[in-house]
Amino acid sequence: MVFTSLEFLTLFLPLVLLIYVLARPQWRNGVLLLGSWAFFGWLSPMFMLLHTVLTVITWVGGLLIARAPLESKGRVRWLAGLIVLNLLVLCWYKYANILAATLSELLLSMGALPLEWQKVALPAGLSFIVLQAISYLVDVHRGTVKVERSFIDYATYLLMFGQSIAGPIIRYSWVSEELSHRGLSRRNFSLGARRFMIGMSMKVLVADSLSPLVDVAFALEQPSFVDAWIGCLAYSLQLFFDFAGYSAMAIGIGLMIGFHFPENFNRPYLAHSIQDFWRRWHLSLSSWLRDYLYIPLGGNRGSRWLIYRNLFLTMAIAGLWHGGDSWNFLLWGAAHGVALCVARIWSGAGWFAMPRALSHVLTLLFVALAWTLFRAPDFATALNMYAGQFGFNALGLGDPLAATLRPVHGIAAALGVFCVIAPIYQQRCEARLGDNPLFNLLGSLWPVLGFLLAFALIASRETVPFLYFQF
């Protein structure tokens, strides 16, 4: 069950919201927790069991850390043990398959029989739940948050179905007050519903419409220059509108029930440098990496080479976190780490500053090329796509992609590009038109119209899972 499925939109979400609104305020966390257990149980009872066990362990672990004296070895040991436990669980479910596959390839190359292995399924939301649990434990250890003594409140924070599947990655300090004291208001509910409808439109109308085109492009054995770049640019739009659409839906659900989750994207394709891109893309992950990985590694302290090491390791680990089906994710993160180091060297050396337009184009070019590595199922496929992108194959549009292209793909791509650049002119229009009734009416109606069209498409075709569910 995903947010863009009929069972979620017509059964699960309305029922949970109805019970939540009718429940007494002191019971609402319990309603959310039961709804979250039902959500994960719908996906798989084993997912619900695993998440519940992790929740109990980290809740008890937080209490044990808080009981230990500050700066004591016992406090550090509890924290280290709990972090290692969470990471071991994550590594088993996320990386056991690729390690087994790599070992099998090695055995085959040596003339031995491959390893017999049954694939391990990655529980939905595990990557995000583990990061939230680690941030909570570290903050309790640091004394920056008070330990949560209510299991229901803590489990609600960790497992909330609205955002635990694919983010934003919420820190306990951001929602601790609202966990215990929050209200319902028509304004928040209407704003939340609007954000949910916008996110659903982004996902269904743009991302899902481009999905078949991307699949065909990345399946070509020898993509042409046009094939490779159509596939690469289509995926760049698909990934953004899929992930940003989910984040908007999660933020919208949060608003409807009284939580204020932070924004997760800030127009990333308008970035003018690679540093600026990471200040705009997946903001909750970027800030988590900075506060719980980059700074503990040493951050900007130490020699220049130590800073470069910290940057590179942070991004390489971020890439590895994204997936365990291919080593491409590690290479993608390493590529971004190198790019951040090069950008830092460039600015630190005082070399000439690039024109903003050129810097913007080069940033988008690098990001798009890196997305090719991110999307390709294996390194051989990525090399095939790069061969096409750099003109080593034919130049024109190939027959398979030509047969796949439909007017809807062009409309979806144009809509996506418009949504990327529209914010640039939005403030100008508001400044010129002021309190214009027609402008205000259009601003109120388009999310509803987009939602209705998206709902009609959902009812007429198979549900397309969110891309970040696999991470």
Helix (H, G, I), strand (E, B) or coil at 397: coil
The b/e string for 335-345 (b: 16+ C-beta within 10 A; e otherwise) is bbbbbbbebbe
- Assigned token pair, 411: 């409309």
CA 27, CA 46: separation in Å to the nearest integer? 26
Cβ atoms of residues 120 and 92 within 8 Å: yes
215 CB-contact burial (10 Å; exposed 0-12 / middle 13-18 / buried 19+): middle
Residue 296, judged by CB atoms within 10 A of its CB (0-12, 13-18, 19+), counts as exposed
Alpha-carbon distance of 98 to 61, in angstroms, equals: 30
Structure tokens at 220: 């070509």
Interacting residues of 188 by C-beta distance below 8 A, sequence separation 6+? 255, 256, 258
- Note if the bond before 168 is cis, omega within 30 degrees: yes
CA distances from 440 to 69, 429, 452 (A): 57, 11, 19
Could you give the C-alpha distances from 7 to 11, 12, 458, in angstroms and in order? 5, 6, 11
Q: Please state, in angstroms and rounded to a whole number, the distance separating the CA atoms of residues 128 and 104.
A: 29
| Euclidean distance between CA atoms 451 and 9, whole angstroms | 11
On the CB side of 417, CA atoms within 13 Å amount to 7
Residue 355 phi/psi, 5-degree rounding, is: -55, 145
Alpha helix stretches (DSSP H) within 290-436 = 295-297, 304-322, 328-349, 356-375, 379-389, 399-404, 407-433
Here the tokens at position 131 are 């990061």
CA neighbor of 360 nearest in space, from 443, 268, 430: 268
Instruction: State CA 344 to chain mean position distance.
Output: 26
Choosing from 322, 336, 360, 409, which is the catalytic residue? 322
> Can 322 be counted among the known catalytic residues?
yes
Catalytic residues: 322
